[in-house]
Amino acid sequence: MKHLLTIGELDPGQVQAILDLSLDLQEQSPQLLKGKNIAFVFEKPSLRTKVGAEVAINHLGGNVVDIDGNLMFSSGKAVPFSFRESLYDAMKNVSQWCDAIFARVFSHSTLEKMKEYGEMPVVNALCDQHHPMQALADLLTIRQNFGPDEKISLTFVGDANNVAFSLTEVLLYFGHSVTFSGPKAHGWDDDKLQYFKLLSIDHGGTFTITEDPKEAVYNADVIYTDTFISMGQEHLYEEKMKHFDGYQVNMKLFSQAKPDAGFMHCLPAHRGVEVSDDVIDHKNSWVYQQAKNRMIVSKGVFTSLLYPELLTGEETIESIEAKHQLI
Ligand code: CP
Ligand code: NVA
């Protein structure tokens, strides 16, 4: 694994290996990232992704270098001379000092360019289409609640967005059943539907869509939602709020799921919009467990990128520590 831009570039074995490594590093913090400088550059705000990863890197002895997004992402601005330098030059420079870069961007194509221009691993901290770090933490959360081998049915109610996409991919990789429910105007395009169908066939799960949220949540093990208005979509507020009328996860909807069903949300939540207070504060709401797992999974991801031999099993934590004198 050289970069992590999407779940789709991992195979299920690699996902499993990242989660196993994350759990190995959960309680102990060997100094595997000692001497490593990891650049963080965020084009939009973040609490969980940024702080969770920074704490993980600190635990493992690494150093985070926070780069002002304006220094790297200004070259797209239309006003002449409003930018400092091209993304190409910025990436070539950061590659001289840093060992990896963690980037949150508006457009997935920016991450592709960063990968092409840089000489270090690029990790997606969320873009318009994917949120792989969230999906890995969510899979861990589901396994912690149901056990590692149980096949579950999860219903995502809401927007066909970055979080829903990566979550659906990772669940279908492991043969789970996913139902998606949202207004047609904000649903998946045909290519994505076809991709999910193929994943479900290949790995023995199911993928279903229905516009009717009541039908979608019936008997589900987990209900998941995300904001209806993602960062960068603020101008779509009025249109989307009309379309998403009726898709709030409230007690009336949640009670249609299995009696002990769990509730998940990547956060930040807009209480009273996509989710009611009584659902997000319900005893079966796992939202803060998901947040905790963002840190745990970050340990596995950054360590795997900087020491890929840990994922293939060629090396162990102990052999890496000894070889690189990290103790
Ligand atoms: N879930 C998530 O990515 O949260 P942040 O936007 O706070 O990082
Ligand atoms: N879909 C949301 C997720 C935030 C973590 C967004 O892109 O803003």
Alpha-carbon gap, residue 18 to 184, rounded angstroms: 35
Q: Is 49 close to ligand 2, i.e. is its CB under 6 Å away?
A: no
Span from the CA of 266 to the centroid of ligand 1 (angstroms): 7
Q: Which ligand is nearest to the CA of 225?
A: 2
Which ligand sits closest to the CA of 163?
2
Phi, psi of 249, deg, nearest 5? -85, 100
Reported CATH class of domain 7-130+294-323: alpha beta
Residues of the chain within CATH 3.40.50.1370 domain(s) are 7-130+294-323, 133-289
What is the CATH topology of the domain spanning 133-289? Answer: Rossmann fold (3.40.50)
290 C-beta closer than 6 A to ligand 1 = no
Residue-by-residue pLDDT tens, the chain, 327 positions: 799 999 999 999 999 999 999 999 998 889 999 999 999 999 999 999 999 999 999 999 999 999 999 899 876 655 666 678 999 999 999 999 999 999 999 999 999 999 999 999 999 999 999 999 999 999 999 999 999 999 999 999 999 999 999 999 999 999 999 999 999 999 999 999 999 999 999 999 999 999 999 999 999 999 999 999 999 999 999 999 999 999 999 999 999 999 999 999 999 999 999 999 999 999 999 999 999 999 999 999 999 999 999 999 999 999 999 999 997
pTM: 0.97
Give the Å distance between the CA of 323 and the centre of ligand 1: 35
267 C-alpha vs ligand 1 centroid, how far in Å? 6
Q: Is the CB of 231 under 6 A from ligand 1?
A: no
Query: Does ligand 2 come within 6 angstroms of the Cβ of 127?
Result: no
